C-alpha cells in the first residue's frame, strides 16, 4: 500500500478554472495544487490537458466529492475504474475524499451528507474504505465533513469515529480545520479538543477555507477568506500535527489567484512560526539530539467537558 500521505508538501491552493490562465502564464507562489477529482475524470479536453501540464511543475493532489464512502449503495465500479485511471495518469501525491454519503438508490443529492456515528456505520465504512484502497492500489485520506445536524442514535463522537476508522481501515485523515470550527459552533463542542483526540500519525493533510456566518449557525461556503478563529485553530493543529500539507480552498465568489495565494502564504508563515516555537521548546537530551515524540496515540490529550455554545442545533 502506498504511504505518501505524510510527504511534506508545504502550503498549496485548489486549482480552479478561473485561474487556469494564471497558472499557465507563470508560477504562482504556492508549493502544490489540489484538483477536484470529478472535474478531470472522463474528459479528454482542456481541463485534463492543463492538469497534466501543471503536474510537471507542481505536486498534485486529487480531492474527490463523489466517492460516497458512507452510502449503503454498492460502490460504483465505473466511478472507481475512472478514478483508478486518473490516478495512474496523474500520479498524485495524495488521493482524498470525504467521510459522507452523497446519494441513495443510484440518485445523487449533490451534497456531502453526514453519517450516523454508530458501530454499525463504522464497520460499514471501514470495509468500504479497505475495498477502495485495494482497488486503487493506494492509501486514501478521508476528510471530516462540515455538519449542521446530529443523529439522535449516534453513539460515537466524530473524532473517535475518525480515529478508529483510520486505524482499522489503514487510511489517512484529511483534517479540515474550517469544518471543525463550523461543526463545533453548530453542534456545540470544543474544536481544540476535537483536534487533540485525532491520531497524529494518521493526519496527512489540512484544509483551510472561509465560511458564512448565518447568525444562529455557520455555513461552510468556501466563499471568503479564512476567519481569524480558524487561523487560531490552524496554529493549534500545526502545534499538534506538525507541518503537514496544508491547502486553501476557495470555491465561490472566487477572487484573483493572488488573493488565494496570499492565504496560502499566511498559512505557511503560521506553520513556520509554530514549528520554530516547537523546536525551541523541545529539550535536548545529552548528546544534542532532539527527543523523539513517542509513537502511537498514548499521549493524546482529551478535554473532559466540551464547550457548549449559546444555542442548540437540530437533531435528527
pLDDT tens digits for 68-116? 999 989 999 999 999 999 999 999 999 999 999 776 666 665 667 889 9
- For residue 216, give the C-alpha cell: 444562529
- Per-residue pLDDT band at 287 (split at 50, 70, 90): very low
**Domain limits of the chain?**
4-282+297-315
The residue that leads in pLDDT, 290 or 113, is: 113
What per-residue confidence (pLDDT) applies to 302? 34
What per-residue confidence (pLDDT) applies to 102? 78
CB 11 within 8 A of CB 30: yes
What per-residue confidence (pLDDT) applies to 304? 33
Residue 289 clears pLDDT 60, i.e. is over it: no
Residue 249 clears pLDDT 50, i.e. is over it: yes
Helix H or strand E segment including 229: helix 228-241
What per-residue confidence (pLDDT) applies to 103? 63
Q: Which CATH class is domain 4-282+297-315?
A: alpha beta
Q: How many CA atoms lie less than 13 Å away from 189 in the CB half-sphere? A: 22
pLDDT tens digits for 116-140? 999 999 999 999 999 999 999 999 9
- CB burial of 258-296 (b: ≥16 within 10 Å; e: otherwise) equals eebbebbebbbebbeebeeeeeeeeeeeeeeeeeeeeee
Residue 194 clears pLDDT 50, i.e. is over it: yes
What per-residue confidence (pLDDT) applies to 282? 61
The percentage of the chain sitting over the pLDDT mark of 90, rounded to a whole number, equals 77
What per-residue confidence (pLDDT) applies to 22? 97
The stretch 138-158 carries a mean pLDDT of 95
Residue 55 clears pLDDT 80, i.e. is over it: yes
Residue 293 clears pLDDT 50, i.e. is over it: no
Most distant pair of Cα atoms in the chain: their distance = 63
Average pLDDT score over the chain: 87
Distance, CA of 142 to CA of 98 (rounded, Å): 5
Q: End-to-end CA distance of the chain, in Å? A: 38
What per-residue confidence (pLDDT) applies to 285? 55
What per-residue confidence (pLDDT) applies to 296? 37
- Per-residue pLDDT band at 252 (split at 50, 70, 90): very high
Tell me the pTM: 0.86
Amino acid at each position: 500500500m502506498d504511504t505518501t500521505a505524510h510527504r511534506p508538501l508545504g502550503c498549496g491552493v485548489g486549482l480552479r478554472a478561473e485561474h487556469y490562465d494564471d497558472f499557465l502564464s507563470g508560477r504562482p507562489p504556492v508549493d502544490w495544487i489540489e484538483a477536484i477529482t470529478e472535474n478531470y475524470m472522463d474528459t479528454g479536453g482542456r481541463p485534463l490537458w492543463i492538469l497534466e501540464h501543471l503536474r510537471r511543475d507542481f505536486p498534485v493532489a486529487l480531492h474527490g466529492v463523489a466517492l460516497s464512502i458512507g452510502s449503503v449503495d454498492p460502490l460504483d465500479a465505473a466511478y472507481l475504474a475512472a478514478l483508478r485511471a486518473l490516478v495512474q495518469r496523474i500520479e498524485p501525491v495524495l488521493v482524498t475524499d470525504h467521510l459522507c454519503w452523497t446519494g441513495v438508490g443510484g440518485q445523487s443529492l449533490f451534497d456531502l451528507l453526514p453519517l450516523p456515528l454508530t458501530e454499525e456505520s463504522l464497520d460499514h465504512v471501514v470495509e468500504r474504505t479497505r475495498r477502495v484502497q485495494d482497488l486503487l492500489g493506494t492509501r486514501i485520506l478521508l476528510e471530516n465533513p462540515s455538519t449542521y445536524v446530529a443523529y439522535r442514535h449516534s453513539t460515537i463522537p466524530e473524532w473517535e469515529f475518525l480515529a478508529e476508522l483510520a486505524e482499522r481501515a489503514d487510511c489517512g485523515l484529511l483534517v479540515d480545520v474550517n469544518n471543525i470550527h463550523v461543526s463545533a459552533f453548530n453542534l456545540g463542542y470544543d474544536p481544540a479538543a476535537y483536534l487533540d483526540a485525532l491520531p497524529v500519525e494518521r493526519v496527512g493533510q489540512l484544509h483551510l477555507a472561509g465560511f458564512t456566518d448565518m447568525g444562529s449557525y455557520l455555513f461552510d461556503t468556501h466563499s471568503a477568506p479564512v476567519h481569524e478563529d480558524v487561523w487560531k485553530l490552524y496554529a493549534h493543529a500545526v502545534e499538534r500535527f506538525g507541518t503537514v500539507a496544508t491547502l486553501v480552498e476557495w470555491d465561490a465568489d472566487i477572487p484573483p489567484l493572488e488573493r488565494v495565494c496570499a492565504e496560502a502564504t499566511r498559512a505557511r508563515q503560521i506553520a513556520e512560526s509554530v514549528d520554530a516555537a516547537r523546536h525551541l521548546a523541545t529539550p535536548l537530551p545529552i548528546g544534542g539530539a532532539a527527543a523523539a515524540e513517542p509513537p502511537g496515540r498514548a499521549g493524546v490529550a482529551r478535554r473532559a467537558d466540551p464547550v457548549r455554545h449559546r444555542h442548540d442545533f437540530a437533531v435528527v
